[in-house]
């Protein structure tokens, strides 16, 4: 498996076109998107993580392949909360995200949430809109912070909230980038969109 950083876009008009299947990673600020990307790609610092919520102000694009050229694009989107802290950039941020999410190439939405939280109303509204394009993959991050019983309860609560709000989803996966829990399940979903060599 080969992975590389390709480019970043801060403005809608600068969004690159790849003509490849894409997987988008979304979630609140500091939900662990960069850490999960690094774990999925088996890299330490390919996607840069930050302890400062909202530090990622652009969409970062990474390429994944098992052959010579990139076969799949992974997109790390800005976390929620940034446009609340920086309202002067909210219109630009919203324009960037809204334009990107209309792309036909997007095959999966990986929505990340800290397993110790519950969905807020604005998140559910946003996920309902996303799920109209394709059922969501919910990654409940930092699962190593809770015991097995609490993890099962978190999955049940998440499923109940999604079903109550009519949000289609494919899977709800407890994930720990640190312990590599759930990483294989997410990776298998991503790999389903490209041709993986036997034993890859």
In this prediction, residue 86 carries a pLDDT of 46
Cα radius of gyration (the chain): 16
User: Which domains, ranges and CATH numbers included, belong to the chain?
Assistant: 2-191 (3.40.50.300)
Q: Are 194 and 18 in contact (CB under 8 A)?
A: no
pLDDT-derived band of residue 123, with 50, 70 and 90 as boundaries?
A: confident
Reading the block at residue 134, the tokens are 């394709």
In this prediction, residue 82 carries a pLDDT of 46
CA distance 20 to 67: 14
- The residue-averaged pLDDT of 133-142 equals 96
* Residue partners of 126: CB distance under 8 A and separation at least 6: none
Looking at the DSSP bridge assignments, the partners of residue 136 are: 169
CA distance 167 to 192: 22
Q: Are 172 and 113 in contact (CB under 8 A)?
A: no
In this prediction, residue 85 carries a pLDDT of 43
DSSP three-state, residue 92: helix
- The residue-averaged pLDDT of 63-74 equals 85
**Tens-place pLDDT, residues 13-68:** 999 999 999 999 998 877 888 889 888 888 776 665 544 444 457 899 999 887 77
Q: Mean pLDDT across the chain, nearest whole number?
A: 84
pLDDT of 144 higher than 80: yes
The closest alpha carbon to 142, from 30, 19, 21, belongs to: 30
Q: Are 131 and 168 in contact (CB under 8 A)?
A: yes
Transcribe 46-73 into DSSP letters. Answer: SSPP-SSTT---SEEEEEEESSSS--EE
Q: Are 151 and 115 in contact (CB under 8 A)?
A: yes
Terminal Cα distance for the chain, rounded: 7
Q: Supply the pTM of this predicted model.
A: 0.86
Element (H, E) at 139: strand 136-141
Q: Are 32 and 113 in contact (CB under 8 A)?
A: no
In this prediction, residue 152 carries a pLDDT of 96
* Residue partners of 65: CB distance under 8 A and separation at least 6: 1, 2, 3, 71, 72, 194
Q: Higher-confidence residue: 153 or 3?
A: 153
CA distance 74 to 52: 22
In this prediction, residue 52 carries a pLDDT of 44
């Amino acid at each position: 498996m080969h992975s590389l950083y390709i480019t970043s876009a801060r403005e809608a008009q600068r969004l690159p076109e790849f003509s490849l299947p894409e997987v988008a990673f979304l979630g609140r600020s500091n939900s662990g998107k960069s850490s999960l990307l690094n774990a999925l790609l088996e890299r330490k610092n390919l996607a840069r993580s930050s302890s400062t919520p909202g530090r990622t102000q652009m969409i970062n694009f990474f390429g994944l392949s098992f052959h010579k050229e990139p076969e799949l694009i992974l997109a790390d989107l800005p976390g929620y909360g940034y446009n609340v802290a920086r309202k002067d950039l909210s219109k630009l941020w919203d324009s960037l995200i809204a334009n990107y999410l209309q792309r036909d190439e997007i095959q999966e939405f990986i929505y990340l949430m800290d397993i110790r939280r519950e969905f807020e109303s604005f998140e559910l509204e946003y996920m309902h809109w996303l799920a109209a394009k394709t059922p969501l993959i919910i990654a409940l991050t930092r699962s190593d912070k809770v015991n097995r019983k609490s993890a099962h309860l978190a999955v049940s609560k998440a499923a109940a909230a999604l079903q109550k709000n009519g949000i289609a989803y494919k899977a709800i996966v407890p994930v720990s980038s640190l312990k590599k829990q759930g990483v294989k399940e997410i990776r298998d979903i991503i790999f389903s969109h490209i041709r993986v060599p036997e034993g890859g």
